[in-house]
């Protein structure tokens, strides 16, 4: 299979302790899918770009709108899993959302999409099926717009995402998390729009800020590294593996330490992010030609602040 099923390969090969979901998913029948897609709204009405892709299909590109000077500091789920509560307009229908820095796209489960005011998108009666390299578990997904989502008092307007055409589960996109049931994944396509997003794995919070620049605490700062411009792979940062300069996908939703194509059964001797050095790092194998990935287990005692506009990620530990 040419698709990079990173959710399964990393979570299963790493001996993931997250329970495998027992939620039964029900794919929508084709006739029902077409009925919903027939009410799609033109993508260009929302300022999204439309462009041709392979096999005479079309793709779409666009960004959500964030309100200026908004901030939300929200608790993570138990065990410091980066899962938070989001809701629709007027804070209706709150539901768990996974904050996935390693996902290049945002996702929503079909039933939840019907409760929070979404529409599928089209261009001249043609739709936008997901054609990326991540597996959707054999279930089609289509581009859509969520008119308003909320994280506390922080508003996200006209957010593009993919709706997976099945009820009861988000499948592999939920990273096999059983509890709480994941209804939405907020990927790096959204996170990159913030001034900063801070994951505090010490006190179990995530801080979203739409305007103010981040200033690290000089006494706490361990290191900083650059964000690299890599398309369609999530958040990629600069580091070094075995002393060799290496790009890493920063996958804070992943329950592992290090995953890369040359991993063996022994811990990796050394991994560096700027001046922050990790030694004897547990590692998990990935398919060839796959970017190395850093999971959440590497950072359980740190504060990680992602500053997309500044192109920097900071690593801190309170003294």
Cβ burial, residue 123 (10 Å; 0-12/13-18/19+): middle
Look at 48 and 133; give whichever has higher pLDDT.
48
Overall number of domains in the chain? 2
Asked if residue 259 belongs to a domain, the reply is yes
Structural contact between residues 224 and 312, judged by C-beta atoms closer than 8 angstroms: yes
Q: What is the pLDDT of residues 86-129, one digit of tens each?
A: 999 888 889 999 999 999 999 999 999 999 999 999 999 899 99
Dist. CA 269–CA 241, nearest whole Å: 9
Positive or negative: CA dihedral 164, 168, 172, 173: positive
Residue 136's CATH number: 2.40.70.10
DSSP symbol at 24: P
In a shared domain, residues 79 and 44: yes
Total Cβ atoms within 10 A of residue 6 = 26
- pLDDT of amino acid 5: 44
Domain residue limits at 148 = 6-208
Asked if residue 58 belongs to a domain, the reply is yes
The answer, as to whether pTM is greater than 0.75, is yes
Decide which of 208, 241, 260 is a domain's last residue.
208
User: Could you tell me whether strands 258-260 and 293-295 are parallel, antiparallel, or unpaired per DSSP bridges?
Assistant: antiparallel
Q: Is the pLDDT score of 161 beyond 90?
A: yes
In a shared domain, residues 184 and 253: no
Asked if residue 179 belongs to a domain, the reply is yes
Average pLDDT of the chain is 92
Positive or negative: CA dihedral 151, 115, 190, 302: positive
Asked if residue 299 belongs to a domain, the reply is yes
Asked if residue 214 belongs to a domain, the reply is no
Asked if residue 267 belongs to a domain, the reply is yes
In a shared domain, residues 177 and 243: no
In a shared domain, residues 297 and 269: yes
Asked if residue 16 belongs to a domain, the reply is yes
Decide which of 164, 186, 208 is a domain's last residue.
208
In a shared domain, residues 177 and 51: yes
| Position 22 confidence tier, pLDDT thresholds 50, 70, 90 | very low
């Amino acid at each position: 299979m040419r698709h990079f099923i990173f959710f399964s390969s990393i979570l299963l090969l790493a001996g993931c302790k997250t329970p495998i979901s027992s939620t039964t998913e029900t794919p929508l029948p084709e006739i029902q899918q077409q009925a919903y897609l027939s009410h799609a709204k033109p993508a260009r009405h929302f300022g999204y770009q439309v462009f041709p892709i392979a096999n005479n299909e079309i793709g779409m590109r666009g960004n959500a709108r964030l309100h200026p000077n908004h901030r939300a500091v929200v608790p993570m789920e138990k065990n410091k899993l980066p899962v938070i509560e989001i809701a629709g307009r007027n804070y209706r229908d709150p539901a768990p959302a996974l904050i996935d820095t390693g996902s290049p796209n945002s996702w929503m489960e079909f039933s939840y999409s019907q409760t929070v005011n979404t529409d599928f998108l089209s261009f001249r009666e043609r739709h936008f099926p997901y054609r990326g390299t991540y597996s959707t578990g054999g279930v089609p997904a289509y581009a859509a717009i969520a008119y308003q989502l909320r994280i506390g008092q922080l508003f996200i307007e006209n957010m593009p995402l993919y709706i997976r055409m099945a009820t009861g589960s988000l499948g592999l996109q939920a990273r096999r998390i059983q509890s709480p049931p994941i209804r939405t994944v907020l990927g790096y396509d959204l996170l990159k729009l913030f001034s900063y997003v801070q994951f505090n794995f010490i006190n179990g919070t995530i801080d979203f800020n739409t305007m103010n620049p981040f200033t690290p605490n000089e006494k706490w700062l361990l290191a900083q590294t650059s964000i690299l411009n890599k398309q369609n792979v999530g958040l990629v940062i600069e580091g070094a593996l075995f002393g060799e300069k290496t790009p890493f996908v920063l996958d804070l939703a992943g329950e592992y330490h290090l995953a890369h194509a040359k991993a063996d059964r022994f811990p990796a001797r050394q991994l560096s992010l700027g001046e922050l050095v990790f030694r004897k790092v547990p590692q998990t194998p990935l398919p060839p030609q796959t970017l190395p990935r850093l999971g959440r287990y590497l950072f359980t005692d740190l504060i990680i602040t992602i500053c997309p506009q500044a192109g920097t990620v900071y690593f801190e530990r309170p003294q």
